Structure 1
């Protein structure tokens, strides 16, 4: 039964990895198009007042709340989350988890920076930006790094807590935060929807790939220890 569960979880992870990679590749065509896709334009305009595109929809407090959500994907906040999670892993005598988190997030940051330069898509100019931006557009760094960081932290926390409901809750929080951060970038007009979708795809795929590699290393180490004990 346990072996079946392990194989099922691994199969699900491989499916997420494949779907994320396929989704990212499919969205690259949006970034390379000479003109913004109609899908991108329609979604972005949903968050603006048709009579005044510089005005986001909703009252002022909604705008401020969205800015708070988008800050959860900023470099400063993500570094803080990573440090807190790594210290927790170290204090709970799980140095492997701390190293895994560091490698996954740093690797995700390097991958995101490389993809931005490689694809070289400018920020949308359809609506005025409601936040300062300094980098290229595709894929969304907030969406991608939020997926990498929160999903990885969620996976590590799920290994610590007990019970299926609690594990599901931890991972659900990670997913919800990732989604809200991505949507906030659309609301602020600093990314095309395809940028955010690509960020989610690439971030999820990278997080799952790191998890699978860590799982394989751990399994091989356990197998080696078992052989040493039986020798």
Structure 2
């Protein structure tokens, strides 16, 4: 990610945060009601669609992500890539702190325009599922593909990680538990944090190599 891209993401994150602080925007209403019945506000589509959405959102649940990060860190440690394991652990732990800290500082209420398909109890902004799925999926993809290998494979793995996080985030809006700006902020926050930690890790590696 280049400098101008990081600056653009920071600006977008600030703008989305301002939208969230000012209440429900037209973007939030439009996104939340996009795939819902105009009268009942029920999620449109066959019954299996709602079930599938709940399955997709589970990919960003705490236990799934804890299992993913723990497993990858353990594998990296066994493979004697301790620095990579530590980098991924810092990404995950820092992501939780950033996400939960922002939630309780901003304290945005959950959507009340529709009946949610699942029950949640924490504040709405930013989405923890969107933030942590981006942190964990993208972070794992970057760390696992950081060794020499085909560039196309690295791009494919990173793209898959981002797409998975996007599906998780979208599922939260479809379930009626997040505003779209919650999701956008979560994605941006997660991506910025991963980028910062990964670049710091690469800088530390280069300094160690230079010292030797």
* Fold shared, TM-score > 0.5 on shorter chain: yes
Q: Distance in 1 between matches of 2:123 and 2:2?
A: 30
- Secondary structure of 1:134's counterpart equals coil
Q: Distance in 1 between matches of 2:102 and 2:2?
A: 23
Say whether 1:24 aligns with 2:24. no
Segment of structure 1 superposing worse, 204-213 or 87-96: 87-96
After superposition, the C-alpha distances for 1:96-155 in whole angstroms (9 at most, x for unaligned) are 111111111100100111111111111110111111111101111100111111110010
Counterpart of 1:110?
A: 97
Runs of 4 or more consecutive aligned structure 1 residues displaced over 4 Å after TM superposition: none
Q: Distance in 1 between matches of 2:69 and 2:47?
A: 31
In the alignment, which of 25, 36, 46 is matched to residue 24 of structure 2? 36
Work out whether residues 123 and 136 of structure 1, in 8 Å CA contact, stay in contact via their aligned partners in 2: yes
Counterpart of 1:127?
A: 114
Residue 161 of structure 1 and its aligned partner are, at CA, apart by 6.6
Q: TM-score, normalised by structure 2?
A: 0.96
Counterpart of 2:63?
A: 76
- Secondary structure of 2:89's counterpart equals helix
After superposition, the C-alpha distances for 1:50-92 in whole angstroms (9 at most, x for unaligned) are 2211x21111111111111101111010001101111121121
Q: Distance in 2 between matches of 1:179 and 1:162?
A: 26
- Secondary structure of 1:49's counterpart equals coil
Q: Distance in 2 between matches of 1:13 and 1:80?
A: 31
Work out whether residues 129 and 189 of structure 1, in 8 Å CA contact, stay in contact via their aligned partners in 2: yes
- Secondary structure of 2:120's counterpart equals coil
Counterpart of 1:205?
A: 192
Segment of structure 1 superposing worse, 187-196 or 215-224: 215-224
Work out whether residues 157 and 170 of structure 1, in 8 Å CA contact, stay in contact via their aligned partners in 2: no
Q: Distance in 1 between matches of 2:17 and 2:76?
A: 37
Q: Distance in 2 between matches of 1:83 and 1:208?
A: 20
In the alignment, which of 146, 149, 152 is matched to residue 165 of structure 1? 152
* 1:204-223 → structure 2 map (5 Å cutoff): 204-223=191-210
The answer for unaligned runs of 5 or more in structure 1 is: 1-11, 226-231
Could you say which structure has the larger radius of gyration? 1
Q: Distance in 1 between matches of 2:103 and 2:126?
A: 6
RMSD across aligned positions (CA): 1.2
Q: Distance in 2 between matches of 1:180 and 1:66?
A: 9
Work out whether residues 13 and 212 of structure 1, in 8 Å CA contact, stay in contact via their aligned partners in 2: no
Say whether 1:52 aligns with 2:40. yes
